[in-house]
Structure 1
Amino acid sequence: MSIPAFSKPTGQPADVCLIVEGCYPHISGGVSTWLDWLMRACPTSNFAVRSIVTPGEARSAKYAFPDNLVDFSEIVLAGPESRGRRGIGTPAMAAHELAALAVAFLESGRLGALARLEQAVNDPNAGISLRDLVSGPYAWRLCLAAYQALMPHAPFKDFFWAWHALMGGLFSTMKAELPPARTYHAISTGYAGLLAARAALHGAGQVALTEHGIYTNERRIEILMADWIVDTVDKGLAMADRRRDLRDLWITAFESYARACYEACDHVTTLFAGNQPMQRLQGARESQLSIIANGIDLDRFGAVPTCPPGNPPTVSLIGRVVPIKDIKTFVSAAGIIRDRVPNARVIVAGSMDEDPDYAAECLALVEELGLSQTVEFAGKVDTATLLATTDVVVLTSLSEAQPLTILEAGAAGRPCVTTDVGACRDIIEGEAGREGGFIAELLAADQIAEHVVRLLLDEQLRTKLGENLRSRVWRDYASETSAEKYRALYASPDGTLQRAV
């Protein structure tokens, strides 16, 4: 397999520019796998990809580029340590004036406010470079002015680092170049959505957004749980205290980024109806909204054979070894499964290099529970091959949208036990009396284990639920059905290639 470098400029024009954040091509699974499928499912369209990454992030490509990916490059979010060329001379716009524009956008999320900020940042007569915006005297004055406007009650050093992290991302997207394309397609809000909104400001083509999970919800959870964000305001029981805390600043920023993206988009798609109430709440218009479910290769997974005679009872979790997948709960469930089904095999199949510390903790838990003869960490494997010797598929994630592994398992006739996240209940339960497995609460190792043991010990039930799930997946989640909808979305309104931003 040919693994690409992190730049592929071919000079060929793109029909579609995909804008992604923190995934393709250096994170395997999930959205990255979906992106790889999307490009291959639309072979008559040429694609460009702009992949937004954080500075200092160790990256290695996990996917070979399809032939119709004609332009790939990374956008590295800038920070206070960023290097680069400064503007010529002193920026013409006073720092406090630019700070006022940035604050107005952060507090409103309106596309017009973003337009005014973007125009100021990229005004050729203003002479403001990205380095000016994130480091040096001008950036210092910018930060001081924003501090006075947003959080004068907070310790300045804490505000400084939060401001630079947020503005490094914002200004990086304002300064990044976009290739010419008919359609600009962001795969989340956040910084990817900001870049798509900027394309809309320049009338550079139609703009689409596809959300698997709701980005602002995921960031909100991370921010509320983060121990690196200092609590700067003690509001006690004073509900009327409107002082902004650092967590409030982070959440407000990402909500504003989302509102601007929704306002800019011509199309807003998601995988299942459960995401749409939040999209509406954040400003998406009814006329924009549509659902395009995930699709899988039914023929490939439908060809997976039943488990061979003599195969030990086998339970597999297919997913990256990262906290959001809650592998520790699966390992804990494995201990209960082993006690009830002593010859059971429990497999974790997924990359272990994204969060090495968490992976080490999971391995240590296996040793602590005495499960080294039961639990196997197989790394990234071919899913169809693994399913051929798997009786039950488990998903213990804390957050998901519409997981491909559950659809793939269903297409192969394997019943599933999943947590109640994203579209999992819709996929598993379907119509009354046609369940394809069981749903468990989050963090409930005992429930996971109980459902798995029941399936392992009852072959008739296992076969029935597996066939129920197979029927539903084959009816509702065909790859070609999904691909047709994206090909229709990409059909250019006027058939002409628009200019670059």
Structure 2
Amino acid sequence: MRSSSTTDVCMIVEGCYPYVAGGVSSWINWLISGLPDLTFSVVAVLASSQNGTPKYKLPPNVKHYQELALFDIHDPEPVPDYGTSSTQGISRELRAFLKNGSKARLYDLDRLVNSTTRPWSINQLTHSDLTWNVICQMYEEILPETSFHHFFWAWYTLFGGLFAVLKAPIPQARAYHTISTGYAGLFAARAALSTQAPAIITEHGIYTNERRIEILLADWIEDSINKGFSLDDPRLDLRDLWISAFEAFARCCYNSCSDITTLYKDNQLMQLSQGACQSKMQVIPNGINLDKFKSAQAQHDNHKPTVALIGRVVAIKDVKSFIHAVGLLKNELPDVNALILGPTDEEPTYFEECHKLAVQLGLEETITFTGPVNIAEYLPSIDLVALTSLSEAQPLVLLEAGAAGIPCVATDVGSCREVLEGRADDPHPLGSGGIITELVSPSATAQAMAKLLRDDELRQQYGVQLRQRIERDYNEHQALKSYKGLYERNFERQRPKAKHLFA
């Protein structure tokens, strides 16, 4: 662990950097490396302590690094005899926080569990008679009609993680910058309330929306209450508890931050719906190193037509739809070559399913899974980049392909349409840089790829137009200048004294 005194910025990340490769992690590494005059600390919020090898080497201006494991198993400890008021107090504060996500309630919870006169350890808060009593009391008060067994594990996950955030040490920094709401957002909110330094959030995808989709689709959450077709049934079920908790986390984070940034305008609608204040909001698009990818521009020679999916082989990228699309495309262009460029170790079972699917479709000689590679080295031999993701924010792969003059076919998620076609309010439109398709539609993806691969003139035109848009709207100098200004503005901002925090 690197350690130092006060840094300029404390970056708080959840479930990604430095252990997981991907767009968000690459962005974090890019931002820190791109501002060498600033010092950073990094707090990595993880499900459990990691023993693996990080995917990223920390830049030299990272002076402090710590991990916050949310769900490590702790040995039980005896609980101090603070009386029954302890159970009632913690239960009351948790219910109040769950109800409205108020930063005042988070502040009260922080003072309660970190009291100088009645301190609690993380073990006592999560593995003790106190834990059991709080769970039983909250069960009776908010979800008595559900399965206690399932409520127990939901409570342990949601509030055990919250307690881990409340008990974690806070690095000293001039500003705290979180990359999501959730537990990272709670840590940023707590840090701002505790140190009176400003907090900032930059959202790529909207964390609360992503969790809501997962929760609604989860088959491990039991539905205990049959509400039929009623729209006004006041009873809460376990899915309601999960969603309410993450919505409360988001409101608390947004209300504690002085600036709320995201990568594209449409994200702001979801942020507003979760309690973000419009006057704090700003769009800062991703930026990339244009020179790096200009030298990797596509070679228009006589090589086999080549399409590539660039990204991790994980379910959210819907790689199976790409494989099916390649199978359909091969019927029309028998000599097509397909590359899947990216790590295969994050979801091993899904990778095996994708590999078997390629074999079943007779595509062993057509599709190549490369694993992690230097993308810039492959771009000159690629005619077309495809993206079949189910969810994205502002995919770096589209920006990188565009900088190399390679047109793209992408599903209509995140800002893909904005990147490929331009903003609807663009006063100087540049024309299309690719084709947008519907989700989970191998046939639509195959048709779009075939259209561009058959028409060299159209493909090259789209590549030129996309490169012009990337050069104008998504260069790293603009993005780094925006973040440098954001930080400097917050360094100058004075936090109110504690008695005025919740006015």
Answer yes or no: same fold by TM over 0.5: yes
3-state DSSP of counterpart to 2:373: coil
Structure 1 unaligned regions, length at least 5:
1-6
1:4 maps to none
Contact residue 316 and residue 391 of structure 2 kept, 8 A: yes
1:89 to 70, 75, 80: 80
Q: CA deviation at 1:497?
A: 11
* TM-score when normalising by structure 1: 0.94
How many positions carry a matched residue from both structures?
A: 489
1:406 to 398, 410, 423: 398
Distance 1:340 1:485 in 2: 46
Contact residue 79 and residue 130 of structure 2 kept, 8 A: no
1:188 to 167, 180, 183: 180
Distance 1:183 1:244 in 2: 38
3-state DSSP of counterpart to 2:250: helix
1:101 maps to 93
Distance 1:148 1:294 in 2: 47
The answer as to 2:434 corresponding to 1:437 is yes
Distance 2:7 2:61 in 1: 9
2:499 maps to none
Contact residue 182 and residue 497 of structure 1 kept, 8 A: no
The answer as to 2:66 corresponding to 1:73 is yes
1:280 maps to 272
Q: CA deviation at 1:337?
A: 1.1
3-state DSSP of counterpart to 2:371: coil
- The change in CA–CA distance for 1:112 and 1:341 in structure 2 (over 3 A counts) is same
Distance 2:196 2:360 in 1: 57
Structure 1, 249-258 or 273-282: larger mean CA deviation: 273-282
3-state DSSP of counterpart to 2:452: helix
Contact residue 181 and residue 497 of structure 1 kept, 8 A: no
Partner deviation per Cα, 1:82-106 (whole Å, 9 max, x = no partner): 237x477334652122111101101
Report the AA paired with residue 56 of structure 2. Answer: Y
The answer as to 2:340 corresponding to 1:348 is yes
- The change in CA–CA distance for 1:240 and 1:492 in structure 2 (over 3 A counts) is closer
Q: CA deviation at 1:396?
A: 0.5
The answer as to 2:118 corresponding to 1:126 is yes
Partner deviation per Cα, 1:434-464 (whole Å, 9 max, x = no partner): 1001000000100100010111111111100
1:206 to 191, 195, 198: 198
2:129 to 105, 112, 137: 137
Query: Percent same amino acid among aligned pairs?
Result: 44
Contact residue 87 and residue 129 of structure 1 kept, 8 A: no
2:466 to 466, 469, 494: 469
3-state DSSP of counterpart to 1:202: helix
The answer as to 2:19 corresponding to 1:26 is yes
- The change in CA–CA distance for 1:59 and 1:83 in structure 2 (over 3 A counts) is farther
Q: CA deviation at 1:472?
A: 0.5
1:331 maps to 323
Partner deviation per Cα, 1:407-448 (whole Å, 9 max, x = no partner): 010011000000000111011112667100100000010010
Structure 2 unaligned regions, length at least 5:
496-503
Contact residue 79 and residue 124 of structure 2 kept, 8 A: no
The answer as to 2:414 corresponding to 1:415 is no
Distance 1:303 1:392 in 2: 17
**Superposition pairs of residues 333-412 of structure 1, within 5 angstroms:** 333-412=325-404
2:143 to 151, 172, 175: 151
Q: CA deviation at 1:493?
A: 5.0
The answer as to 2:293 corresponding to 1:301 is yes
Q: CA deviation at 1:165?
A: 0.4
Distance 2:297 2:246 in 1: 46
Report the AA paired with residue 199 of structure 2. Answer: V
- The change in CA–CA distance for 1:433 and 1:205 in structure 2 (over 3 A counts) is closer
Report the AA paired with residue 439 of structure 1. Answer: I
Distance 1:253 1:12 in 2: 34
Partner deviation per Cα, 1:236-262 (whole Å, 9 max, x = no partner): 123222111111100000000000001
Contact residue 181 and residue 204 of structure 1 kept, 8 A: no
Report the AA paired with residue 419 of structure 1. Answer: T
Structure 1, 238-247 or 367-376: larger mean CA deviation: 238-247
Contact residue 9 and residue 41 of structure 2 kept, 8 A: yes
2:500 maps to none
Q: CA deviation at 1:494?
A: 5.7
1:225 to 207, 210, 217: 217
Contact residue 328 and residue 362 of structure 1 kept, 8 A: yes
Structure 1, 381-390 or 179-188: larger mean CA deviation: 381-390
3-state DSSP of counterpart to 2:48: coil
- The change in CA–CA distance for 1:494 and 1:343 in structure 2 (over 3 A counts) is closer
Distance 1:57 1:40 in 2: 24
Distance 2:91 2:492 in 1: 40
Distance 2:341 2:160 in 1: 36
Report the AA paired with residue 461 of structure 1. Answer: L
1:16 to 9, 12, 30: 9
